[in-house]
């Protein structure tokens, strides 16, 4: 091969030169391994293109996946069901994965929260538990916060309509400053509350599931 890489000397006969070129051509093109390498190289380019496009921003891919799941799974259809709540942490986490990635947080040793979002119109969700004296997790509340629309009353009306389609008319309704508060019974000593977010300055609609506490008449 060293002789092939050097420029042929004028003294080399025409026959020797032709033989050398022929041998070089067979080595380069006749070998199956060399042929496979040539075929595999172009095919690998399209496979690498999506990851290369994602490198400039590492976060868009997860958010796009979440939005895709949101388009196929309606949060109201997923969590607003009679006799569903309360759920153990493992069961709740399995169901909530239909809305996207679920994170486990322990703000205190005896407190567990399953949190996620944003995903489409659902700004965030949180399901909280407290640990009893025997080490068992007790369900406290499941909260789902909706936003993404400038007209908050219209968003509230849209969610209320979806809930009413599943549970019927609310058991009670109370007028508030901007948005009303409405409640439904879910069975198993659980109630659903639809109202504005209790966090000051947060323009979101909150859907909350917990044990009833002083329902309005």
Per-residue pLDDT of the chain (217 residues; tens, 9 = 90+): 444 444 444 443 443 444 443 444 334 444 444 333 333 333 333 333 332 232 333 333 333 233 434 445 889 999 999 999 999 999 999 999 999 999 999 999 999 999 999 988 999 999 999 999 999 999 999 999 999 889 999 999 999 999 999 999 999 999 988 899 999 999 999 999 999 999 988 999 999 999 987 544 4
- Side by side, the strands of the sheet bearing 181-187 are 103-108, 111-116, 122-131, 137-146, 205-210, 190-196, 181-187, 172-174
* Residue 143: strand, helix, or coil: strand
Contact 82, 187 (CB under 8 A): yes
Please tell me whether residue 203 adopts helix, strand or coil conformation: coil
- Nearest-angstrom CA–CA distance, 143 and 154: 20
Q: Where are the alpha helices (DSSP H) in 7-151?
A: 14-29, 32-54, 60-72, 75-79, 89-96
Tell me the two tokens of residue 158: 């849209």
The model's pTM is 0.66
CB of 170 within 8 A of CB of 215? no
């Amino acid at each position: 091969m060293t002789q092939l890489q050097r420029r042929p000397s004028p003294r080399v006969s025409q026959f020797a030169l032709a033989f050398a070129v022929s041998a070089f051509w067979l080595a380069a093109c006749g070998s199956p391994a060399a042929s496979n390498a040539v075929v595999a190289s172009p095919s690998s380019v399209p496979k690498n293109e999506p990851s290369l496009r994602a490198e400039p921003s590492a976060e868009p891919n997860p958010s796009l996946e979440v939005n895709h799941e949101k388009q196929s799974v309606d949060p109201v259809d997923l969590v607003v069901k009679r006799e569903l709540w309360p759920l153990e942490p493992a069961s709740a986490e399995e169901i909530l994965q239909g809305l996207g990635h679920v994170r486990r947080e322990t703000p205190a040793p005896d407190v567990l929260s399953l949190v996620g979002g944003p995903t489409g119109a659902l700004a965030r969700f949180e399901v909280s538990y407290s640990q009893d004296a025997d080490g068992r997790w007790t369900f406290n509340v499941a909260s789902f916060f909706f936003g993404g629309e400038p007209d908050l009353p219209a968003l509230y009306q849209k969610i209320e309509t979806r809930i009413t389609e599943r549970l019927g008319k609310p058991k009670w309704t109370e007028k508030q400053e901007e948005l009303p508060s409405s409640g439904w019974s879910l069975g198993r000593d659980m109630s659903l509350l639809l109202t504005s977010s209790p966090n000051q300055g947060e323009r979101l609609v909150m859907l909350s599931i917990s044990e009833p506490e002083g329902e309005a008449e």
